[in-house]
Chain A
Amino acid sequence: GAVVSQHPSRVICKSGTSVKIECRSLDFQATTMFWYRQFPKQSLMLMATSNEGSKATYEQGVEKDKFLINHASLTLSTLTVTSAHPEDSSFYICSALDRGPGEQFFGPGTRLTVL
């Protein structure tokens, strides 16, 4: 199946700093990517839909100014957590939509810890 990578896999930062997470589709072009957040022992919650060349669509309750999404190319979407706080500590997972087969492929996730 298609491969989606995320970088970094783990990041620890201080409160108040910003963190950027990259999501790449390695062997297909993805006009649409999705960002999910998973708190410990909870389910995945869709945060936003990222469309190449246009603004992301955020789910209700997700602050667009805090979670900046940029989908500048057909293989890369980035999520920047601005002014991170301990409550932003979570597992962030991206997925990329391969329109050929019409399937979403998930990245391995990024574990963010904010001290």
Chain B
Amino acid sequence: AQKVTQAQTEISVVEKEDVTLDCVYETRDTTYYLFWYKQPPSGELVFLIRRNSFDEQNEISGRYSWNFQKSTSSFNFTITASQVVDSAVYFCALSRFYNNNDMRFGAGTRLTVKP
């Protein structure tokens, strides 16, 4: 069975602070994909990153960075110098390797960035 745990239900930070959103996953598959999505108040999911299980390199994209550690089954997401526009719900998700079938989402973390 596949499972994604986002233990942080809500996080509140002040603008310009760094914040890390945690994601821990469970799967019996040896090959799989991990994702992060942003869901602003409008509701539309915004794709942030997809990482396959073969690639443990950390990734940086502007103020966003991701730390994938298979040893601890974690795929954490850090926002550096947070901004008010980063306020949203962030979902971590896991899918089987082939064709992203059977995508399972974590419960989500609601991030509020205060000015």
Return the CB mask of B9-50 against A: 1 if under 8 Å, else 0: 000000000000000000000000000010000111101001
Query: For chains A and B in complex, what number of residue pairs have CB atoms within 8 angstroms?
Result: 48
Mark B47-69 against chain A: 1 for CB-CB distance below 8 A, else 0: 10010000000000000000000
Segment touching B, from A11-19, A43-51, A72-80 = A43-51
With both chains docked as a complex, state the minimum distance between the C-beta of B77 and any C-beta of chain A, in angstroms. 16
Give the distance to chain A from B22, nearest Cβ to Cβ, in Å: 15
**B71 contacts A by Cβ under 8 Å:** no
* B102 A46 Cβ-Cβ under 8 A: yes
* Stretch of A20-28, A63-71, A81-89, A96-104 that contacts chain B: A96-104
Q: Is the CB of B43 within 8 A of A109?
A: yes
Cα of A20 to Cα of B52 in the assembled complex, Å: 35
Expressed in whole angstroms, the Cα–Cα distance for A93 and B47 within the complex equals 14
In the complex, the answer to whether B108 meets A108 with C-beta atoms within 8 Å is no
- Interface flag for B8 (CB, 8 Å): no
Cross-chain contact A108 with B44 (CB below 8 angstroms): yes
Check if B72 is an interface residue, CB within 8 A of chain A. no
Q: Is B105 an interface residue (CB 8 A)?
A: yes
4 A-B pairs with least C-beta separation:
A108-B44, A106-B45, A109-B43, A44-B105
A-B contacts, 16 listed (Cβ < 8 Å): A42-B108, A43-B105, A43-B106, A43-B107, A44-B105, A49-B101, A97-B100, A102-B99, A102-B100, A103-B100, A104-B103, A105-B47, A108-B43, A108-B44, A109-B45, A111-B43
Interface residues of A (CB under 8 A from B): 1, 32, 34, 41-46, 49, 91, 93, 95, 97, 99, 102-106, 108-109, 111
Interface residue ranges, B against A (CB under 8 Å): 37, 42-45, 47, 50, 91, 95, 98-108, 110
